[in-house]
């Protein structure tokens, strides 16, 4: 009798879920789906929210005392100027919000100029295929698929990764002229001592990667909220939850909503933040490293002033190769290589800045730019190389503009098919640097490896902590292995930024986090020269003009610079 009862319950549950999922990819939301809010009026711009129960719980009436942050979120905006439309659905994942038909219903309301905030993750770790909910996604941000016969619907289904579903929402929203923003999932009430457990290496990271791949803004809600919880402490956080670890009370939902607003304020999206109420304006922006901005820069074509100096064979030439942090050429951005020449006696040395925006070690090589420099090298010349900003990302993914190198300094390779049918053998970041160094030395010239210029959004409690830790390590290893000179420019600039302070560093940039203006380029160039001066027995230091020798260009400590990496 018990077995028959359990079988009946299972059949009933399966029947209900099949009916619910029967609207899969329908043109409009079926009557079997939950009724969701619609914009109050088409005359106003709207911000749509899609997600799970941490955004909208149940029917958004506070059942069981549980609220998602999407409800109090609307209180931070002027409803006479902006619609806040919370179309999240509890119990769904990034996959089932699409397959149950909710996304199609939401898309019907999107119009050009609207915003879409996306936050999934809490249900994506569930089983991919079972007779309970079948809502899980493949872990990560890749393009892997798993073909199943869905136990809930009895239908074949191709299941994608968490990041794939996020990217799908982003692309389809953009097709409607909408501006997507990705949030990492709010953290659970889960502690490790005094620290909240974060999803730093999983869903938060994958959400960030998906946003980066599609060039849309990202808010690390996982970290922003966790930081607030830690400041409050465990006893206080208990009052913010209506259940054991996932669903917030109204007080907790409001705190999470404040954290979303903090992220939006840090992103400084004026077309959205201009609708904030007085309460919204009171929310302090999140730290810069808790959000990620869109980089509107294209991959720059060859600049019109490719050769800035008439090279003279009788004197040595300093060649500079790198990316846009070295040579910009876009709007108000200036790279340090564009101003460093003033630190050298131009009667004794030519300075040729061959860096170009949007390039990585890999693309600089593939495009023949390194070969062009190599062919011109002569004994006594110097080559300063600084790459890294464009070397990260997934090799083979065209969204990364054919730039990423493999991580590390080894001999690993990966074959990638290019648009013209050729197959490119992609190598590691360090392999390309070693190529530059060894070929420079083969011409009797001196290679100098610089670690990357750090991003500006790396302040932690008043202290500047530079990023690019792995690239710094790889640069040092390459220099040691090849006998090249090494300047830890990441650390030198980080030290200078710390001296200047966060407010002053803000004035050094032409964009949100990466590209310096002329003033910032001059600061970075001073750090480069300071590093070169500190390298023992480097003839280049003798070529710095007497005027510049008398000026302070950096307070450099010995561990940051060496003739070979330690």
Q: Per residue in 507-539, pLDDT tens? A: 999 888 899 999 999 999 999 999 998 886 456
Helices (H), 352-488: 361-366, 369-376, 429-442, 469-482
Asked if 361 contacts 387 with a C-beta cutoff of 8 angstroms, the reply is: yes
User: Same CATH topology for 11-30+49-292 and 317-562?
Assistant: yes
DSSP state of 149: E
Of 195, 247, 245, 242, which Cα lies nearest the Cα of 223?
195
Q: CATH: 3.40.50.1100, 3.90.1170.40, 3.40.50.1110, 1.10.1040.10. Which one for 317-562? A: 3.40.50.1110
Q: How many Å separate Cα 201 from the centre of its chain?
A: 14
Of 535, 503, 509, which Cα lies nearest the Cα of 523?
509
Sequence spans of domains, the chain? 11-30+49-292, 317-562
Q: How many Å separate Cα 177 from the centre of its chain?
A: 22
Taking the C-alpha atoms of residue 449 and residue 310, their distance in angstroms, rounded to an integer, is 25
Give the per-residue pLDDT at 538. Answer: 58
Q: Which residues of the chain have pLDDT under 50?
A: 1-31, 304-309, 537, 546, 549-566
Topology of domain 11-30+49-292, CATH? Rossmann fold (3.40.50)
Identify the three-state secondary structure at position 558.
Answer: helix
Residue 182's φ and ψ, nearest 5 degrees, are -100, 135
Convert the pLDDT of each residue in 103-144 to its tens digit.
Answer: 999 999 999 999 999 999 999 999 999 999 999 999 999 999
User: If you average pLDDT over every residue of the chain, what do you get?
Assistant: 87
Asked if 527 contacts 489 with a C-beta cutoff of 8 angstroms, the reply is: yes
Convert the pLDDT of each residue in 334-344 to its tens digit.
Answer: 999 999 988 88
Taking the C-alpha atoms of residue 344 and residue 357, their distance in angstroms, rounded to an integer, is 24
Give the per-residue pLDDT at 555. Answer: 40
- Integer CA distances (angstroms), 91 to 52, 100, 125, 246, in order: 6, 12, 12, 12
**DSSP symbols for 347-384:** TT-EEEE---TT--HHHHHHTTHHHHHHHH--TT-EEE
Asked if 391 contacts 403 with a C-beta cutoff of 8 angstroms, the reply is: yes
Taking the C-alpha atoms of residue 81 and residue 73, their distance in angstroms, rounded to an integer, is 15
Taking the C-alpha atoms of residue 342 and residue 529, their distance in angstroms, rounded to an integer, is 10
């Amino acid at each position: 009798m018990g077995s028959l009862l359990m079988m009946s319950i299972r059949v009933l549950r399966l029947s209900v879920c099949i009916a619910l999922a029967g609207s899969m990819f329908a043109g409009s939301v079926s009557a079997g789906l939950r009724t969701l809010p619609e914009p109050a009026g088409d005359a106003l711009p709207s911000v749509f929210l899609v997600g799970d129960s941490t955004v909208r719980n149940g029917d958004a009436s506070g059942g069981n005392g549980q609220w998602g942050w999407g409800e109090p979120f609307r209180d931070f905006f002027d409803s006479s100027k902006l619609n806040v439309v919370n179309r999240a659905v509890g119990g769904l994942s990034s996959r089932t919000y699409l397959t149950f038909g909710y996304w199609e219903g939401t898309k019907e309301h999107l119009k050009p100029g609207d915003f879409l905030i996306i936050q999934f993750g809490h249900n994506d770790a569930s089983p991919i295929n079972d007779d309970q909910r079948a809502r899980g996604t493949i872990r990560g941000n890749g393009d892997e698929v798993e073909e199943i016969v869905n136990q809930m619907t009895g239908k074949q289904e191709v299941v994608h990764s968490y990041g794939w579903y996020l990217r799908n929402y982003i692309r389809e929203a953009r097709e409607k002229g909408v501006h997507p923003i990705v949030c990492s999932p709010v953290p659970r009430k889960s502690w490790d001592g005094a620290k909240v457990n974060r999803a730093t290496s999983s869903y938060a990271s994958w959400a960030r990667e998906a946003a980066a791949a599609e060039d849309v803004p990202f808010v690390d809600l996982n970290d922003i909220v966790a930081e607030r919880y830690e400041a409050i402490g465990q006893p206080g956080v208990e009052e913010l939850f209506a259940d054991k670890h996932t669903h917030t009370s109204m007080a907790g939902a409001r705190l999470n909503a404040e954290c979303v607003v903090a992220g939006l304020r840090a992103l400084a999206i004026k077309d959205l933040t201009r609708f904030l109420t007085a309460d919204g304006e009171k929310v302090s922006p999140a730290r810069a490293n808790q959000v990620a901005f869109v980089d509107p820069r294209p991959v720059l074509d060859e600049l019109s002033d490719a050769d800035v100096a008439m090279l003279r064979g009788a004197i040595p030439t300093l060649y500079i190769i790198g990316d846009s942090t070295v040579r910009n050429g876009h709007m108000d951005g200036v790279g340090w290589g564009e101003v460093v020449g003033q630190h050298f006696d131009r009667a004794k040395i030519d300075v040729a800045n061959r860096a170009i925006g949007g390039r990585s070690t890999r693309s600089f090589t593939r495009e023949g730019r390194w070969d062009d420099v190599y062919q011109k090298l002569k004994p006594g010349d110097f080559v300063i190389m600084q790459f890294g900003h464009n070397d990260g990302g997934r090799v083979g993914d065209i969204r990364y503009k054919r730039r990423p190198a493999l991580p590390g300094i080894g001999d690993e390779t990966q074959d990638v098919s290019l648009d013209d049918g050729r197959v490119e053998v992609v190598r590691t970041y360090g392999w390309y640097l070693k190529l530059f160094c060894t070929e420079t030395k083969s011409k009797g010239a001196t290679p100098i490896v610089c670690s990357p210029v750090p991003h500006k959004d790396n302040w932690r409690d008043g202290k500047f902590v530079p990023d690019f830790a792995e690239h710094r390590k790889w640069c040092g290893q390459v220099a040691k292995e090849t006998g090249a000179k090494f300047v830890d420019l990441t650390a030198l600039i980080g030290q200078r930024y710390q001296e200047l302070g966060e407010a002053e560093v803000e004035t050094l940039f032409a964009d949100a986090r990466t590209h310096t203006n002329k003033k910032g380029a001059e600061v970075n160039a001073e750090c480069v020269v300071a590093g070169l001066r500190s390298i023992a027995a480097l003839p280049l230091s003798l070529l710095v003009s007497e005027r510049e020798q008398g000026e302070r260009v950096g307070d450099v400590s010995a561990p940051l610079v060496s003739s070979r990496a330690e």
